[in-house]
Structure 1
Amino acid sequence: MTEPTQPPDSTDTEDSPTRRNPALIAAAVALPVATVVGIVVAAVMAGKNPVLEPVALGTVPAAAAGSPECASLVGSLPKQLGDFDRAELVDPAPEGAAAWQNVDAQEIVLRCGVDRPGEFNAASALQVIDGVQWFEIPGGEGLDASTWFAVDRGVYVALTVPYGLGPSPLQDASGAVAAALEAKPIDPAAVPVPVPVPNP
């Protein structure tokens, strides 16, 4: 005696609304995951590449800033000094000036054609980097940077660098200065003569 055949279960038919294609299930799971991963990656990249504002530079005494020497130097400056990227300057930008920024919004500022620093005299200690002689003036109180002056070119070049960056920015700047500006004999001021203190 044969068993009566059962009608097929409606859940096993391909047309049943409760049956799901495995490929569709995988896609439905993967899409939200990919979206979340994309958002996280974008956030991380935004943290590494913040949108930095253009740098505003005031004017300083720089009689030779518009000289051909300074135009040659500024036109050949590298896009990077160490880990700092070349920054845009707020208009109107002073002649002979350039700036670089890092991801922490620290700034390195170069000014070409500045006046000879008053502290630079025949007794000043110099540091030679890649053939360029630099004279350093440490930042005053509240200034977390020092300014280095290239003193052996036809024009004076000042580079203000935050403390703690290591030698790379100054080395990169030295290469640019050496390539663009011909070396000249240094011209320091005379050593100040001590003023005698009268006896009381």
Structure 2
Amino acid sequence: MVDVVEQQSTSSVPRWAAIVAITLGVLLAAGVVTVGLVGRHVHGERQQTAEAAEQARRHGPLALPPVPAPQAQSSDCAAVLAALPRELPVDGAELPRRELAQPAPPGAVAWGDAQHDPVSLRCGIDAPAELTRTSHLTNVSGVDWFSINEGDLTTWLAVDRPVYVALTVPQEAGTGPVQTLSRVLGRTLPKQEVFP
């Protein structure tokens, strides 16, 4: 009689452990694919939201949030608004006036088109808390401006006239809007001390 000796390998992995390892690998791969698809979907939604916001900024009536503007209906602001150009030079283009969404804040005007983010003007606003006697001012064509940078926007505040006039422009707009408004203010409102 021949004895048959079964050889057992001491290095073999139990069958159940191999099944668990393979199953976990498949689940992990499925999870990675799912996360990738969800991430792509979320990125796509964010991109669509950003594109919709850009379309809203560049088309149709422009919504400007209200800000305190106690002198917006003053004769000084009326003179400034009447003297503003129909088109504003921005980065080599002439931007037409934009319709404002109702209710439009008093003393406000905007320019823009489908290729450019809007430029807005507000007349008769309060002085910002950031404006102090030690603030750096920039003189453009005889008008003293105080600038406030917020993200991709810069607000230029004319501080040496009887009313404060704010011009908010996108960073890429260049200096055309500030130069144009400086000429308008120079012709329309008398110069005065920044801090009388």
Fold match by TM threshold 0.5: yes
- The alignment's C-alpha RMSD in Å is 1.5
- Structure 1, unpaired ranges of 5+: 1-50, 189-200
Q: Distance in 1 between matches of 2:68 and 2:155?
A: 15
SS in structure 2 of the partner of residue 108 of structure 1: strand
The AA in structure 2 aligned to 1:128 is: N
Q: Deviations 1:136-174 (Å, cap 9, x if unpaired)?
A: 0111xxx31010100000000111010022111111111
- Structure 2, unpaired ranges of 5+: 1-57
The answer for the alignment partner of 1:133 in structure 2 is 144
Q: Distance in 2 between matches of 1:185 and 1:55?
A: 34
Q: Deviations 1:44-91 (Å, cap 9, x if unpaired)?
A: xxxxxxx93121111101111111100111111001221322111122
The answer for the alignment partner of 1:66 in structure 2 is 73
Aligned 1:170-185 pairs, distance under 5 A:
170-185=178-193
Q: Deviations 1:70-120 (Å, cap 9, x if unpaired)?
A: 011111100122132211112221111100003324100100000011111
Q: Where do 4+ consecutive residues of structure 1 move more than 3 Å? A: none
Report % sequence identity: 43
Count of residue pairs brought into register by the alignment = 135
Contact 1:52/1:105, CA 8 A, preserved across alignment: no
The AA in structure 2 aligned to 1:146 is: T
Q: TM-score, normalised by structure 2?
A: 0.65
Q: Distance in 2 between matches of 1:92 and 1:55?
A: 11
Contact 1:67/1:113, CA 8 A, preserved across alignment: yes
Q: Distance in 2 between matches of 1:176 and 1:88?
A: 21
The answer for the alignment partner of 1:14 in structure 2 is none
Q: Distance in 2 between matches of 1:67 and 1:148?
A: 20
